[in-house]
Structure 1
Amino acid sequence: MFIFIIYISPLLCATVAGMPTSFRFLLTVDGIDPNNVDKTSGVSALWLAVMFNQYEIVSILVDEFCCKVSANELDLAKRNNNEEMLSLLNKFLTNEDDENND
């Protein structure tokens, strides 16, 4: 009999469960880099939040932690048919483009 133990990070659990308070706590106290949550795959916290349709967590990441919005997150929001999330991501993508042009 084999027993497989799968480690799921607390940050991932907070993201999937939609727990913004726990999510914010883990990012600030544990000092996790939101742009590189999984060191082996290079997955960002923003991508995970968009993947699991967690609007409030996405808002925290782009507002408070200034995570960069990329085409990957926009594409994922389009595939999930989440117009509200897509408009939020587009707003921050536009703000980043404006800052780069200045």
Structure 2
Amino acid sequence: MSGSVIGWIIELVAGAVGGNVAGNMMKQYDLGTVGNSIAGIVGGGIGGQVLQMLVGGAAGGGGLDIGSIVQQVVGGGIGGGILLVIVGAIRKMMGGQGPGG
């Protein structure tokens, strides 16, 4: 398995975790476990790629060294959390109810 595929997997998993953490911390944006995970996965993929473009090769160029892995986890987790808040805010503005009522 190539390093870039593993990097994508790390970003997507970190995004799912970030989305669920953000949903649990900010109940007004919570979309439920599945919704949090989906928003987090998409946000993790986007956030990881944006961070990689901004940082560039400074953290190992997308390889599997510790700097690259940390970059992928941070970018994915933050991206997942941010996209969850955006989607949750849009849903709230449209009058959607959260999973808790």
- TM-score band w.r.t. shorter chain: under 0.3
Flag the structure with higher helix content.
Answer: 2
Q: Which has the higher contact order (CA 8 A, sep 6+)?
A: 2
Q: TM-score, normalised by structure 1?
A: 0.26
